[in-house]
Amino acid sequence: MEFKHTPVLLNECIQGLNIKPDGIYVDGTLGGGGHSKGILKHLSKEGLLIGIDRDEDALKAAKENLKEYNNVKYVHGNHDEIREILNNLGIDKVDGILLDLGVSSYQLDERNRGFSYLGKSDLDMRMNQSQALTAKDIVNTYSEEQLKDIIFEYGEEKFSKNIARNICKYRENKKIETTDELVEIIEKSIPKSKQNSGHPAKRTFQAIRIEVNNEIKPLYDTVLKSIECLKEDGRLCIITFHSLEDRAVKNAYIEAQGKCTCPKDLPYCVCNYKSYGKIINKKPIEASNEEQEENSRSKSAKLRIFERHEKK
């Protein structure tokens, strides 16, 4: 299957990165290379793009899609380890970083990856195929309380208690092996009258995927580490698709920006607060109506931009 991923908010990201032709840029979620191609078009031969992805299928696809460019370094890794990755490349600071926290169309549509609630496939959902934990492990070994909490927090699912209880009942007799088995359990856990807003399994599958890939917990620290890796005037652009992701990014940006606590009547600052830069857009940038019509997965996308200016 072809690795397709329509880059969300592409023009807004390119504008937000404020690209220098000879700069060093990181695409921490390389995917099929859609955003990266947009960045590379604005780089000269002296510029450099570092593409990071934990999905080896994505890296293979990106290498093919970006084969016309010679100024790309590909890294199989996780953007949470951006500092270590740059150190290994002998790079201290970069001019810009882009993180698109969405799941690619390929991952969602590729049946044997287990991301999709449509059809039948093995319960997997790993972005990094070399990691041990799978969706099958979670639904078959987590306690009812753990499952309820994950499905409620990461999926914002009102019927999380019913779903968790029924998962545990089902596995008393048989291990849950496939996506269609899980979908059947979820559908039976939600009243038919409440199944009129999208697919009933969507929120639960999202929650399990987030847990499998540990998408939320390290995000706050990842944002702060990414800001530390920027040169002066460098920019960080992050696209989120979930309220918890967006909140983590927003709060990390506020922390990095810092805040003067001096009384307003003082002529100058004496509190010596620490700031690593400024938030470019206080309200997140969302996809235009046209983009949302063309790409339904852009409907929940939110872009936040931070610019590095260290103040001691």
Where is pLDDT greater, at 104 or 30?
30
Q: What is the pLDDT of residues 189-221, one digit of tens each?
A: 999 988 877 899 999 999 999 999 999 999 999
Average pLDDT over every residue of 79-84: 96
Rounded Cα gap, residues 240 and 130, in angstroms: 25
The beta-strand segments (E) located in 221-301 are 230-240, 275-279, 285-286
Query: Looking at residue 251, which CATH number applies to its domain?
Result: 3.40.50.150
Residues 75-91 as b/e (b if ≥16 CB within 10 A, e otherwise) read bebbbbbbeebbeeeee
Judgement on whether residues 146 and 206 belong to the same structural domain of the protein: yes
Q: What is the pLDDT of residues 36-65, one digit of tens each?
A: 999 999 999 999 999 999 989 889 999 999
Question: Is residue 260 pLDDT above 90, yes or no?
Answer: no
Q: Output the CA torsion sign for 33, 125, 129, 211.
A: positive
Q: What is the pLDDT of residues 120-139, one digit of tens each?
A: 899 999 988 889 999 999 99
pLDDT above 90 covers what percent of the chain? 79
Judgement on whether residues 62 and 46 belong to the same structural domain of the protein: yes
> Given 212, 239, 259, which residue is the final one in a domain?
212
Rg for the chain, CA atoms, rounded: 21
For the chain, report the end-to-end CA distance as a whole number of angstroms.
Answer: 51
Q: What is the pLDDT of residue 270?
A: 84
Judgement on whether residues 62 and 135 belong to the same structural domain of the protein: no
> Given 181, 212, 243, which residue is the final one in a domain?
212
Coil/strand/helix, residue 230: strand
pLDDT above 70 covers what percent of the chain? 95
**Number of domains within the chain:** 2
pTM: 0.87
Judgement on whether residues 166 and 227 belong to the same structural domain of the protein: no
Confidence tier at 22 by pLDDT (50, 70, 90) = very high
Domain that holds residue 181: 125-212
Please name the residues in contact with 180: beta carbons below 8 A apart, sequence gap of 6 or more: 119, 120
Pairing assessment for the beta strands 285-286 and 302-311 based on DSSP bridges:
antiparallel
Judgement on whether residues 150 and 198 belong to the same structural domain of the protein: yes
